Amino acid sequence: MKTIKAAVCHEFGTPLRIEDISLRAPQSGEVEVTLDAVAICHSDISFAEGAWGGALPAVYGHEAAGIIAAVGDNVNGIAVGDSVVVTLIRSCGTCPSCAGGAPTLCSTPYDGDHGPIKTADGGKLHQAMACGAFAESVVVDQRQVVKISEDIPKECAALIACGVITGVGAVVNAAGLRAGQDVVVIGAGGVGLNAIQGARIAGARRIVAVDMSEEKLAVAREFGATDGVLASGTKPWNAAKSAMGRGADAVIVTVGAIPAYETAPKYLAYGGKVVMVGMPHSGATATYEPVMLAAVGQGMVGSKMGDVVIQRDIPWMVDLYTQGRLKLDELISGRWELGQINEAIADTKTGSARRNVILFNR
């Protein structure tokens, strides 16, 4: 066991504590990654606030990049010294979902209580989201990492691990958007901006961003939105339809707000689809009038992590970044050290941050 620093949650809704924890060596099929960067996702914050329950104490964090420091037995295609993106997508490769090409829906459970980390005195420490990346190093399954060029800044590469693949993937994979179609993206935060980028890359005709903030709508235009609509306005779906000249072929909901989910179908064209990405707290419910969806062939579908296959999708997203077609640097709002993680979380909760990134070895 080696000793590393990590931000540990001991009680929901309280500040994380920077502590020494123990990290075991990688076992068969696992790799150890020394992290250079980890971004703060709203999912980490929701978990730490107790929105979805879970075991404590725990180490959160799942949007990371770094260098392979060690490999276990039976690891293929990855070697010590490789630069990698680290994701939470731990797929077994053999369950019906994985075998059917949907690794984000892997049905093989992972017990984070018996993962590679322990408290400094050897006690239980939960590796949240199969990752636990609010730490100097992680040990994860080899299927959770994707090798990238060492030339890509790790602070940018880290964003691909969740926010980018979720937003871009929701449009390209879940919505199956075709060139010339129209899209509404509800929420112009980190994931929403990436959904807007995904729509631009896919060749959407009109991309309408919907948000509560004029400032965020201005940023959305920088990322490819053709139009912006304030969600606080009267019947904002009418303004969106006016901008498009019709309803949307796809509505991507990137926020976990129930009002956003309840109004999302109102933006749709006949035959359109709502893609549900944002995660409301457990127990929150929304209501719809099903006859309207049935009468005009509309649909609603959930999308976890953009329905990506990381070994397929991350490399082309990285390539788009190197071509200048995918914005990553512009997504970073602030750079922080591990000891400042609570301040970085507080800044993220204001809603003004695109992505705050924790940097190691600054």
3-state secondary structure of 317: helix
Closest to 186 (Cα-Cα) out of 137, 258, 114: 258
Quick one: pLDDT band at residue 307, thresholds 50, 70, 90? very high
Supply the pLDDT for residue 223. Answer: 97
| Angle of helix 190-202 versus helix 214-222 axis, rounded to 10 | 40
Closest to 310 (Cα-Cα) out of 132, 161, 142: 161
Supply the pLDDT for residue 288. Answer: 87
pTM of the model: 0.95
Q: Where are the domains of the chain?
A: 2-151+328-359, 166-306
Fold of 2-151+328-359: Quinone Oxidoreductase; Chain A, domain 1 (3.90.180)
Supply the pLDDT for residue 362. Answer: 65
Quick one: pLDDT band at residue 351, thresholds 50, 70, 90? confident
**What confidence tens digit (pLDDT) does each residue in 165-181 have?**
999 999 999 999 999 99
Give mean pLDDT, residues 190-208: 97
- The burial class, CB within 10 Å (0-12 / 13-18 / 19+), for 294 is exposed
Which class would CATH give 166-306?
alpha beta
**Fold identical between 2-151+328-359 and 166-306?**
no
**What confidence tens digit (pLDDT) does each residue in 18-71 have?**
999 999 999 999 999 999 999 999 999 999 999 999 999 999 999 999 999 999
Compute the distance between CA of residue 81 and CA of residue 83 in angstroms, rounded to an integer.
7
Quick one: pLDDT band at residue 76, thresholds 50, 70, 90? very high
pLDDT at residue 77 is higher than 80: yes
Quick one: pLDDT band at residue 148, thresholds 50, 70, 90? very high
